[in-house]
Amino acid sequence: MRHLLTALVAGLAVLATACSGGGGTRTIAGSYTAKPTQTGTPKDGGTATVALTPGLSPNYIYPYPPAAANGTVIARGQLWRSLYRPSGEGDQIADAELSLAEPPVYSPDRKTVTIKMKDYKWSNGKPVTADDVVFSLALLKAALKESPANWSFYTPGQFPDGVSAEAAAPGTLTLELETAYNPSYLLSMLTLLYVLPSTDWSIAATGGPHLDYKQPKNAKAIYKYLTKQSESQATFAENPLWRVVNGPYLLKSFDPTTGSFSLERNKSYSGPGESRLDQIDFKAFTSAAAVLNQFKAGNLTVGTLDSSFANQIDALKAQGYNVYGAPAPARLDALVINFANTVGNFDKVIAQPYVRQALQRLIDQQGYIASRGIHNGAASPNYSTAGAGSPYPPAFGDQPPYPYDAAAAEKLLTGNGWKVTPHGATTCERPGTGPGQCGADIPKGQTISFTLASASSPAFVGARDVAFASAAKKLGIEVKIVTKSLNYMYANYGNSFAPATKNEWAMQDYGPLYLAAGYPSSNTVFNTEGSFNLGSYKSAEADKLISASTFGTDETSLSAEVTSLARDLPVLFMPTPHTLVVWKNTLSGPQSSFNALISFLYTPEQWYFHS
């Protein structure tokens, strides 16, 4: 499905803080911020049990599920690797060692890109070739022709539109671009292009002939066949299609009832990591409390911990677990605003910048961070789309444009024609578009009342939403919280793919949104035509700046984009929680493999058990 959206966090009671750029980063001195070192003599074999994020059980296996399927994909990065593996580091886009290809080489006009493939093999022993990348791009285009919503990273007219791919040789891929992209942006797109087996999947029927996938009609037929096959959950582990992988693991079993699944070694895997573990069991959970109980019972090897259980950290460490936490690169936590919701004239009210500014000033980020009921100290303040510690920080640095200030929020409303009635109903007294008036199409007597859809997991989401609603009530603003499951929100609350439900939500809080680490452009998210523009945000200035960061060569344009969006507020910014990862100290591997878990990037082929 779209970005992996949920992260769980935990904290400590004793904190030492220091702020720097990027919207405000926070360094915490405590026993979970140091990366445990790689230790022990590796032992071959063993089974690791990993906790899936509560509420996010997979139900699809083909790497590009149609939007209508509401598909959460099984172990996509372990079964099929993207052309370039995301790094999970804030200053790097791709992990060079774990990628299927060497870094791209550009022509002087940036319109021809040459890519040398590495020596990888499919699980059936065939080589991974440039033709496989051509095939994968053809299927992605076929999916988008069916519906632009079929890939959440797509903006019409941009990648993969205007991109042609050719295998100049089995090991050499050539991309021809109608429009030159910023190399950093293009690389971030190529980390999302999963490489699929052209010689085994180029069929439109079981046992059917192999088709020329370069013909759009054939690519469409292949895509329809593969997505149809992916609907049969009971056959995921046995279907020979899904047994052809280029990643380190094969699917051993899948439970359609719970979404739990097991992986086994791909013995033909030729990439880095010796795949010492025999098996990885991913277990589905419905609550964070259930995950904690399984940690305490010693039944989990790896997982994440909700911040509501921060007082359990010392006990888990005493029980033999490592604990490591940090904010994920390019992570954005926010209340997503639905600018198209017409209930109670919400669209007219929220269109006013001063209203958004007033609402942002009601969010007490430092208070939420310190609260034992929300983040327990394990979060960083953030007021921009770039996230904490970004190499492309906003111009305002540590001085956010709209810090918490309830009195300033009230002044913004009264200064623009509203009568503020604390704990009552604030109303528009001076309608009109002139100075000191409420704004276009806001009638006299208008109130500010809207629905906030709040995810049922992780626990901090509901807690921070209640705090926000309470602050709003003090200014006579009614925030009606409705709790929904993550899967329901992903399927129904996005105007770009579910416009029929636009009036069911005025804001939503589903936890985190991840932009591309290393180059956190808001393309697809906040540009007018972006396929992941959930709330129909529109800004000519934002479109211009996003275009510059996408197509230009001046990477400082990304900081300009970040600054503009932070000031215009397409969303209301929340603190960035620290993802807290827990794993048994009998398991080890490179520090980078555990640091990547902060961004939910799994590389279990690099793990091993030791004495």
The ranges of the chain annotated as CATH 3.10.105.10 are 331-575
Residue type for 446, please? Q
| pLDDT above 90 (res 260) | yes
Which is higher by pLDDT, 150 or 70?
150
- Comparing C-alpha atoms, which of 241, 316, 236, 326 is closest to residue 282? 236
Rg (CA), the chain: 24
Task: Give every CB contact of residue 455 below 8 A, 6+ residues apart in sequence.
Answer: 6, 55, 461, 462, 483, 484, 485, 486, 489, 508, 509, 510, 511
Q: Phi and psi dihedrals of 380, rounded to 5? A: -125, 140
Pick the CATH number of 58-273 from 3.40.190.10, 3.40.50.300, 3.30.430.20, 3.30.70.240: 3.40.190.10
Q: Which of 74-83, 104-113, 305-314, 600-609 shows the lowest per-residue confidence on average (mean pLDDT)?
A: 305-314
242 confidence band (pLDDT: 50, 70, 90): very high
Instruction: Give the mean model confidence (pLDDT) for residues 457-461.
Output: 85
24 confidence band (pLDDT: 50, 70, 90): very low
- Comparing C-alpha atoms, which of 221, 455, 477, 459 is closest to residue 344? 477
Assess contact for 17 and 27: CB atoms under 8 A: yes
Tokens describing residue 309: 């259980």
Above pLDDT 70, what percent of the chain? Answer: 95
- Cα separation, 264 vs 281, whole angstroms: 9
The ranges of the chain annotated as CATH 3.40.190.10 are 58-273
Q: How many CB atoms are closer than 10 A to CB 33?
A: 15
Q: Is 39 helix (H, G, I), strand (E, B) or coil?
A: coil
- Cα separation, 468 vs 446, whole angstroms: 21
| pLDDT above 90 (res 138) | yes
DSSP E strands, 153-287: 163-169, 172-177, 249-254, 261-265, 279-283
Which is higher by pLDDT, 271 or 211?
211
Cis omega (within 30 of 0) on the bond before 458? yes
Q: How many CB atoms are closer than 10 A to CB 254?
A: 23
Tokens describing residue 414: 């009264």
What is the predicted pLDDT for the residue at 551?
Answer: 92
Fold (topology level) of 331-575? Dipeptide-binding Protein; domain 3 (3.10.105)
Tokens describing residue 444: 């006299």
538 confidence band (pLDDT: 50, 70, 90): very high
**Which residue has 């069916």 as its token pair?**
146
Assess contact for 249 and 266: CB atoms under 8 A: yes
- Cα separation, 380 vs 386, whole angstroms: 13
308 confidence band (pLDDT: 50, 70, 90): low
Q: Which of 69-73, 390-394, 444-448 shows the lowest per-residue confidence on average (mean pLDDT)?
A: 69-73
Q: Phi and psi dihedrals of 439, rounded to 5? A: 125, 170
Q: Which of 84-93, 236-245, 337-346, 447-456 shows the lowest per-residue confidence on average (mean pLDDT)?
A: 84-93
What is the predicted pLDDT for the residue at 45?
Answer: 94
β-pairing, 576-584 with 302-304? antiparallel
Let me know if 586 is exposed, middle or buried by CB neighbors in 10 A (0-12, 13-18, 19+). middle
Beta bridge partners of 427: 419, 447
- Comparing C-alpha atoms, which of 304, 308, 330, 332 is closest to residue 576? 332
- Comparing C-alpha atoms, which of 95, 63, 93 is closest to residue 77? 63
DSSP assignment letter at 208: P
- Each as own residue / partner, the long-range contacts of residues 282-287 (CB below 8 Å, 24 or more positions apart, any chain) are 282/50, 282/51, 282/52, 282/75, 283/49, 283/50, 283/51, 283/52, 284/52, 284/57, 284/255, 284/258, 284/259, 284/260, 285/51, 285/52, 285/54, 286/54, 286/55, 287/54, 287/457
Q: Which of 54-58, 335-339, 465-469 shows the lowest per-residue confidence on average (mean pLDDT)?
A: 54-58
pLDDT tens figures, 548-600: 999 988 878 999 999 999 999 999 999 998 888 999 999 999 999 998 888 88
32 confidence band (pLDDT: 50, 70, 90): confident
Q: Is 579 helix (H, G, I), strand (E, B) or coil?
A: strand
What is the predicted pLDDT for the residue at 164?
Answer: 97
Query: Cα 65 vs. chain centroid, distance in angstroms?
Result: 16
- Cα separation, 82 vs 246, whole angstroms: 9
β-pairing, 507-509 with 449-455? parallel
| pLDDT above 70 (res 12) | no
What is the predicted pLDDT for the residue at 10?
Answer: 22
HSE-CB at 126 with a 13 A cutoff on CA atoms is 15
